[in-house]
Amino acid sequence: MFFKDKGTAVIAPMSGHVVTIGDVDEPIFAGKVVGDGVAIIPSSGEVVAPIAGTISFIGEQKHTYGIAGFDGVEVLIHLGINTVKLNGQGYDCKVEVGQRVEVGTLLCNMDLDFIRQQQFDLTSPVVITSGSMDKIKRLTLRTGQALAGQTVCMRYTTV
């Protein structure tokens, strides 16, 4: 699906195949409990900031990253499904909480081969958090192939 170039862009944080959040094999994400958006089946382990803002959250196991945009909308990146069980193995974090980032700033390197060998699903949700959804008037998604830091995977307009 393609859409008009209206609204704030959320750029793909990883290269790979973008699917809708409903296609994720994890009910918490597919059911939009955490938020609404897309997921990326990565072809590369480089993870970059999808929006400009401030790092608001880094999971203790380095597999989740929250970025608060300057408009108050927060985007969450969850690297893989159930990967909290890896206890940080396979993730090399490059940022810290409170750090300002621009679109394309390197957040993390993810060892796709290691994570795959541990038999975890690499599908990585990229969502506007449920706490930010009340600020969203319209959300449009783009699926298909994406390049990290270049391809728009979502656009939103705020209330």
Q: Is 78 a catalytic residue?
A: yes
DSSP per residue, the chain: ----S-SEEEE-SSSEEEEEGGGSSSHHHHTTSSEEEEEEEESS-EEE-SSSEEEEEE-TTS-EEEEEETTS-EEEEE-SBSGGGGTTTTEEE---TT-EE-TT-EEEEE-HHHHHHTT-B--EEEEEETTTGGGEEEEEE--EEE-TTTSEEEEEEE-
From the list 13, 66, 77, 78, the catalytic residue is 78
Catalytic positions, please?
78
